[in-house]
Structure 1
Amino acid sequence: MDDRPDQATTEGRSTKRRRVALACDACRTRKSRCDGRRPKCGMCEDLDFDCVYTAPVTAANVIVQKDYLSNLERRVKTLEDSLSTVRSELSAVASKVNGESSDAPVEEIPSTRQNEHSADLMGTEDTVDAMGAVAFADEEDCGFFGASSNIAFLRNLSRAVARVESTQEEITSPPINHASFEGGFVNATRPSSPVPTQAHEQTRERQSDMFTLPPDDETLTLIHRFFGDTGLLFPYIHPHAFFETYSELKKGSKKIRRTWLGLLNMVLAMAKLTAVSERLSAEVCLKESAVYYTRAFDLCRGEILRGTTLEVVQYLLLMGQYLQGTHKSVQAWMIHGLTVKAAMQLGLQSKDASRAFTSLEQEIRKRTWFGCVVLDRVLSMTFGRPAAIPDCYVQLDLPVFQGSVEGFPTTDLSQARDSILFFNATITLYKQMASIIDQLYAQNLGCGSPLPVREIVSRVLGIENQLFSWVLALPESLRQVTVQTMRAEIDDQDQRPREEDDARLFPLKFRVILTLRYLHVQILLHRPVLVKFLDTTGMGVVGVSAAGGGGVVEPAEDRLLNEIGYSSLNKCVEAAMGIIDIIHELVSSAHWPRNLLGAWWYSLYYTFNAALVIIGATWVRRTRQQVAASGSAIPAIANIDVYPSRAVATLYKLNRGNRMVDRCRYYLDELISALHIHSQQEAPDASAPNMDFPAMNTAASGLGFPSLGIEGGEFMVDDFFTGLARGIDIERW
């Protein structure tokens, strides 16, 4: 007897079996034929199974179940009822406002508050530059800035000045805990949140245009600019793979990931922010870049807390770098924490976790991890906070050149090869910087007692030998530059016919940036010796407690400081002078040499930091000259008096219309004036109108600085400069 169901019916006639569009889960699991009956198929009814029909996500003929439609109808009805309620409340409020003359504020509508937190995150700016050059925070919470930060160094300088001036004026300064040398908490107030209605409208507008891109030619220009600049300095995004995905996007592919779109917008934002333009001011570039940053954030806000792909880590890493050049320092610090956690979640730090990938994928994972390490070292140093990635976590081999796959239309293979060499040199240099923070700045923990002079000098000499070995190991294409060699190479490039200025940049740009980084590490290495000199100024009698955090300096320590400390102090000053000379030379140049510098916020930090060191050394030399009879005078350093004003002149030319640069420049002006550091000022270029050296008119500038023309915030109290001039203790933390 033939019992096939497709050949017999109750009438005995042969017919085909009815096709079922969707089988139930139980039949699909058992690989049994399902008759598709609802609510239970015949097989599940016979076997007393739960019968559930789950439609595949990619099915074109999905059967929408009735209960699902009913649920949607209920939700729509709830939304309509809520909307009617809101309209009624609005009508009542409007009637009340129109009918009464009261000036009482209208009560906020609760439904408008739900998007306020995201609008605040994207729209509120703090005035801290994330490079730590100056801290002007608008956060309600306190912020800790440890020993390696400029803020901690300025505390030492302010104490030294207060001690000297207080002694001369016979004003007693209250004792200050020495722990503040290692860093401390600083407070500021936060501005009011945006108006709820505005926040709601901004959120709605962002959601509507997050998938918008500029015209194709403009997008390609920005992508090429990124990979011809930032992408060469930090080569953790593979250009070929990125450009291929963009080509698929332009062809209308529906497979483009949302996280990749976020990464694309961050690339565009970074290209805009780092651009050096003679036509556009810095604020215009910042606003244009913020458009892409906002879109990137809206596209990936749900992914940044998961960090499940390498693409997300690269997106977060690039976002952290971008935020360094904005007024969102708190976000830079927090985004970096997410980046490190996401990288570790994917095992980017592990050789074992990468073995399942191709050699190229392993290389990109490795470079992304080292990108996290480099940014971690920078933020740890500038904010004065413990590193998120201890040095013992960095055990991967250095990146290697991958050959022809490294190429990109805007670069040749030699530039790509030099890019990897430059990246590796930065990694090894910042390894020494991490060692400096660990050994000389107590890991920025703010818990250790101050090191004696003997121990500081011993550690400085040991690390200096390692830095000397690093210099010797540099390849020929990355050898360090001086102002003289840089001028010669620029003149040589100008003699050659070139169609585009960008072709002249490399490898000289790698050498300039690496030299600036090395000189800055030298300053960081020798600055603890300068701090010791500052701690002993104004003491009068060696061996007594130095008020304001200087501690007790024994006669033997002071003698050791006088005997071998001058050499370290001179090296610190020479490195600072070298930084100012190089940056001043390039910002004073026209056309393509200005592009030899990296991102403008690094140049700002290096210049400001170097100027503070020179001002501190000038103050030490002045106070030591006052006790020259005791043999403690510091030998003069040639032309040192020129450099504070040269740093101010450099900041005048660094980035037109940049509020951060203006603030740092004004601080230096006020600090020079308060400490009476008079020198022959360098005249600004005649070709640069509006670059005059008289005190900045803050009312006309629109910066809105209180007190002495600038907000104190985390950097210092409002009467910092007034206190220095009067010779009183200005520290009231």
Structure 2
Amino acid sequence: MESRSSKSPNRAKRRKISVACDDCRARKVRCDGVQPVCGPCSKRTDHGAQCNYTGELEKRKANQIYISNLETRIKELEGAEGSQESRKGPTPISTPRPTLPSPTPRGTLPETPGTYRSIQSQGGINTPASQRDGVNAMMGAVEGERASQGFFGSSSAAGFMRQIRTAVDKKLAPDYRRSPAPRLPVSSTLLSTRTETAQNPVANYVLPPRRMADSLMEVYWDYVFPLYPFLISAQMKSEYAKIWAGETPESDENMLMCTLNVMFALASQLADFVPPTEREASANSFFSRAKGLFQFNLWDTGSAGLIQCLLLMAQYLQSTDSAHQCWIVTGLAIRNAQSLGLHLPETINSLQNFQEQQLARKIWHGCVLMDRVISMTFGRPAMITKASSGAVPLPAAVDEEFIPSESMSEASQPPDRPSMMAFFGKSLELYDIMNDVLESLYNQSTDVSGEDIHDFYFNNITGEGERTIFELDHCLSRWTKSIPMHLRGDSAMKSTNPIFCRQSIVLRARFLHVRILLFRPTLSRYCTIRDNMASDSLIPMHDSFPHRVALQCSIICVKAAQESIQLIYNNVPSDGTGGPLPAWWYNVLYVYTSATVLIAGRLCSAILAEVSEESITQSWNQALEILTKYQSYSTSARRCIAALEILYEQVASEGVPPTHHGPRSDEEERSATFGDMSFGEGMNTSILDSFEFPDFQDMSWLNSVPSNLY
């Protein structure tokens, strides 16, 4: 039997008309679309008096009305269902009896069993929160849910829906060339953080005595905020005053009290009026109170206040033994910032004034800074990519007092007033270089086992995005030349302004630490060089260019370690106060890292030919003296002292001791090199028992950090 198409193979297909007049459309008559009068209407007795074409704009409005009616009907069904569930309580899921939908007018939704189940799965009282949006977590959120669910990029289901909507809009309105801008994941303001969530009537809103609270706040604004300007100081000071006056704060009260307690905890670790032996307990009491007030719901989108609080928590946790919690809290801050779209320049530009934009920049780059620091400290991959960190401009080097609250134009710092914010920008630039150092030179997959001496030292075949040690050193050199005058160590202005003085010292300490990280892998390889490497070459290994360069890199690393120790040693006040130094937990990190470099340099006679034993001994004793002073602050300093003793004893016993005049015993050698200081006096032996000792012959200990000791 032949098919219908085979009987008439040349039969022309019916031409589809995309536009028809209203009369033909109503009578369901085929319209040829001819204007001003179509063919069927011209044959009528009235000669097309009724031939009208509805415009594209009217059709688009009709579609919008239809969609609006559908949404209204869905809300009515949800409301009816919610009230029914509240009266009856949870009911077991059962299959409804088949029913026929009753006739409904155009623009409404028939109440079919399938429709009921669909609505129930989206907003039912017993439905898990992760399923109430109508899509699962892998799909993201539909376009209409973006405001509550946060930012979704072009690869998400929401991004695809946005593209489809744009295409449909263009089909419905050919003359409409530009679709409306997509809704932003954050509101036009970051300052209004007050929420409608019910407050706990018995919340632990306990504050210390007013005098102590004011003193702790002063410590925070003088010592913490100039280095980590994550807040708007004027706003927080105003909210703090309202709390004591019994007035309702502008921001979320629970989050405000939580943030204040974290600020108290940070200040307690740095306050000179709190005895060192009591700082840890005092800070922990405030932080425990903050944890009790902290209300974080995984199912909700975060806020600017939440991210600020998380950043301060991560900063405080650096001073504790809670390495895992510090890592997780930093990750939460980053993910919440990304969900708000703070990593996008278009989000920043959409905010209502420059003050808001500056705040958003500070919050995002605060996440970048903490990500870089935590990644370096724990030896783990950074969360934020280089491209993402650089997409948003750095915060402007303008102090808050010169930023009008309602101005849209970018503010500027008076030329005769150096900005406190300049330090934050230079630190971010430095840590961007540090991130390149970690990615290029501390890649665990890098193969340096080859016999080629060039690859052994410098691994010239770099991966994508990786940079050579020479390029990184050039970046550091250019960075030092860009430092403003008020942040240079020899500036006269530094001595007259205590904030600038401390910022310059902290910036110098951070720079020296990054420089140590840059040259330390070469020092490690120089200490483990094999005597038979490149033996078949006409050029002896010790006369080869890469070996000579590696020696100079190792010497630079040792000298940078000495300078780092000297910088901290010279600025530790004798009265036990904090002085103009970084926070003590950073000092412990810098001194420990530098001391391990001294041990490595002490093992190489070629290094000692340029860096004398006497200077290394002096730096070593200074390092131990600094760590001894910090023993009362935390057990981490005691761990570092114990670790350094063990490292030296193991390396000295297994390594090749340097040449010296006259025979010495091992005990005499250690005493002559490292002085008569007792390492483990009064130390708990359980600390030593918790160490996991590495293979000291491969120099892997040189790349360790204090967090490995926790």
Q: Which whole-Å CA distance do the structure 1 matches of 2:554 and 2:525 have between them? A: 10
* Residues 194-226 of structure 1, C-alpha deviations (whole Å, 9 max, x = no match): xxxxxxxxxxxx997732111222222212211
Greater Rg by CA: 2
Q: Which whole-Å CA distance do the structure 2 matches of 1:612 and 1:207 have between them? A: 53
1:159-198 aligned within 5 A: none
The root-mean-square deviation of aligned C-alpha atoms, in Å, is: 4.1
Partner of 2:283 in structure 1? Answer: 289
Partner of 1:604 in structure 2? Answer: 588
The one-letter code of the counterpart of 1:579 is S
Over 3 Å counting, the alpha-carbon distance change for 1:259 and 1:347 in structure 2 is same
The 8 Å contact of residues 403 and 413 in structure 1, kept in 2 or not, is answered as no
1:477-556 aligned within 5 A: 477-480=486-489, 505-536=498-529, 539-543=530-534
The 8 Å contact of residues 614 and 644 in structure 1, kept in 2 or not, is answered as yes
The 8 Å contact of residues 456 and 525 in structure 2, kept in 1 or not, is answered as no
Partner of 1:640 in structure 2? Answer: 616
Partner of 1:694 in structure 2? Answer: 678
Partner of 2:373 in structure 1? Answer: 378
The 8 Å contact of residues 317 and 326 in structure 2, kept in 1 or not, is answered as yes
- TM-superposed CA distance for 1:357, in Å, is 2.9
The one-letter code of the counterpart of 2:304 is L
Partner of 2:171 in structure 1? Answer: none
Identity %: 23
2:261 aligned to which of 258, 262, 265: 265
The 8 Å contact of residues 316 and 338 in structure 1, kept in 2 or not, is answered as yes
1:246 aligned to which of 229, 232, 240: 240
The 8 Å contact of residues 203 and 293 in structure 2, kept in 1 or not, is answered as no
Q: Which whole-Å CA distance do the structure 2 matches of 1:415 and 1:693 have between them? A: 50
Q: Which whole-Å CA distance do the structure 1 matches of 2:79 and 2:256 have between them? A: 40
2:347 aligned to which of 349, 353, 369: 353
Over 3 Å counting, the alpha-carbon distance change for 1:682 and 1:477 in structure 2 is farther
The 8 Å contact of residues 280 and 634 in structure 2, kept in 1 or not, is answered as no
**3-state secondary structure, aligned to 1:399:** coil
Partner of 1:568 in structure 2? Answer: 553
1:269-668 aligned within 5 A: 269-276=265-272, 280-282=275-277, 284-303=278-297, 306-354=300-348, 355-394=350-389, 395-403=391-399, 405=401, 418-442=419-443, 446-450=444-448, 451-455=455-459, 459-480=468-489, 505-536=498-529, 539-543=530-534, 559-587=544-572, 589-590=574-575, 594-621=578-605, 636=612, 639-654=615-630, 656-668=632-644
Partner of 2:670 in structure 1? Answer: 678
1:711 correspondence with 2:690: yes
The 8 Å contact of residues 377 and 387 in structure 1, kept in 2 or not, is answered as yes
The one-letter code of the counterpart of 2:618 is V
Over 3 Å counting, the alpha-carbon distance change for 1:243 and 1:414 in structure 2 is farther
Q: Which whole-Å CA distance do the structure 2 matches of 1:207 and 1:424 have between them? A: 42
The 8 Å contact of residues 308 and 342 in structure 1, kept in 2 or not, is answered as yes
The 8 Å contact of residues 399 and 419 in structure 2, kept in 1 or not, is answered as no
The 8 Å contact of residues 235 and 419 in structure 1, kept in 2 or not, is answered as no
Over 3 Å counting, the alpha-carbon distance change for 1:478 and 1:489 in structure 2 is closer
- TM-superposed CA distance for 1:635, in Å, is 7.1
Q: Which whole-Å CA distance do the structure 2 matches of 1:303 and 1:229 have between them? A: 32
- TM-superposed CA distance for 1:231, in Å, is 0.8
Over 3 Å counting, the alpha-carbon distance change for 1:612 and 1:331 in structure 2 is same
1:141-220 aligned within 5 A: 210-220=204-214
The one-letter code of the counterpart of 2:498 is L
Over 3 Å counting, the alpha-carbon distance change for 1:305 and 1:693 in structure 2 is farther
Partner of 2:218 in structure 1? Answer: 224
The 8 Å contact of residues 453 and 560 in structure 1, kept in 2 or not, is answered as no
The one-letter code of the counterpart of 1:309 is S
Q: Which whole-Å CA distance do the structure 1 matches of 2:82 and 2:243 have between them? A: 32
Q: Which whole-Å CA distance do the structure 1 matches of 2:209 and 2:515 have between them? A: 45
The 8 Å contact of residues 304 and 338 in structure 1, kept in 2 or not, is answered as no
- TM-superposed CA distance for 1:588, in Å, is 5.2
Over 3 Å counting, the alpha-carbon distance change for 1:289 and 1:449 in structure 2 is same
Partner of 2:129 in structure 1? Answer: none
Q: Which whole-Å CA distance do the structure 2 matches of 1:250 and 1:600 have between them? A: 31
**3-state secondary structure, aligned to 1:567:** helix
Over 3 Å counting, the alpha-carbon distance change for 1:655 and 1:308 in structure 2 is same
Over 3 Å counting, the alpha-carbon distance change for 1:471 and 1:250 in structure 2 is same
Over 3 Å counting, the alpha-carbon distance change for 1:661 and 1:66 in structure 2 is closer
- TM-superposed CA distance for 1:371, in Å, is 0.9
Over 3 Å counting, the alpha-carbon distance change for 1:635 and 1:607 in structure 2 is closer
* Residues 391-449 of structure 1, C-alpha deviations (whole Å, 9 max, x = no match): 11022222124456369xxxx9999953201111101111111111122223xxx2232
* Residues 233-266 of structure 1, C-alpha deviations (whole Å, 9 max, x = no match): 1112001111111222223335543112211111
Q: Which whole-Å CA distance do the structure 1 matches of 2:416 and 2:369 have between them? A: 21
- TM-superposed CA distance for 1:299, in Å, is 1.4
- TM-superposed CA distance for 1:620, in Å, is 2.6
* Residues 453-479 of structure 1, C-alpha deviations (whole Å, 9 max, x = no match): 254698222211221111111111011
* Residues 243-297 of structure 1, C-alpha deviations (whole Å, 9 max, x = no match): 11122222333554311221111111111123345x6124x21111111212222
Q: Higher mean Cα deviation, 313-322 or 644-653?
A: 644-653
Q: Which whole-Å CA distance do the structure 1 matches of 2:85 and 2:648 have between them? A: 77
- TM-superposed CA distance for 1:600, in Å, is 0.5
The 8 Å contact of residues 415 and 506 in structure 1, kept in 2 or not, is answered as no
**3-state secondary structure, aligned to 2:670:** coil
Over 3 Å counting, the alpha-carbon distance change for 1:217 and 1:50 in structure 2 is closer
- TM-superposed CA distance for 1:383, in Å, is 1.3
Q: How many residues align?
A: 476
* Residues 657-690 of structure 1, C-alpha deviations (whole Å, 9 max, x = no match): 521111111222333344266365899xxxxxxx
Over 3 Å counting, the alpha-carbon distance change for 1:305 and 1:406 in structure 2 is farther
- TM-superposed CA distance for 1:316, in Å, is 0.7
Partner of 2:661 in structure 1? Answer: none
TM-score, normalising length: structure 1: 0.58
The 8 Å contact of residues 570 and 637 in structure 1, kept in 2 or not, is answered as no
Over 3 Å counting, the alpha-carbon distance change for 1:305 and 1:613 in structure 2 is farther
* Residues 55-113 of structure 1, C-alpha deviations (whole Å, 9 max, x = no match): 9xxxxxxxxx9988x98xxxxxxxxxxxxxxxxxxxxxxxxxxxxxxxxxxxxxxxxxx
Q: Which whole-Å CA distance do the structure 2 matches of 1:296 and 1:448 have between them? A: 43
Q: Give unpaired runs (5+ residues) of structure 1.
A: 1-28, 31-47, 56-64, 72-205, 494-503, 546-551, 626-632, 684-691, 725-733
The one-letter code of the counterpart of 1:477 is H
Partner of 1:24 in structure 2? Answer: none
- TM-superposed CA distance for 1:650, in Å, is 1.6
Q: Give unpaired runs (5+ residues) of structure 2.
A: 1-67, 70-75, 90-199, 404-412, 449-454, 462-466, 653-665, 701-710
* Residues 470-514 of structure 1, C-alpha deviations (whole Å, 9 max, x = no match): 111111101136xxx9xx999x77xxxxxxxxxx63211111100
- TM-superposed CA distance for 1:373, in Å, is 0.7
1:30-41 aligned within 5 A: none
* Residues 113-155 of structure 1, C-alpha deviations (whole Å, 9 max, x = no match): xxxxxxxxxxxxxxxxxxxxxxxxxxxxxxxxxxxxxxxxxxx
The one-letter code of the counterpart of 1:542 is M
More RCO (CA 8 Å, sep 6+): 1
Q: Which whole-Å CA distance do the structure 2 matches of 1:610 and 1:208 have between them? A: 49
**3-state secondary structure, aligned to 2:421:** helix
**3-state secondary structure, aligned to 2:569:** helix
Q: Which whole-Å CA distance do the structure 1 matches of 2:358 and 2:442 have between them? A: 33
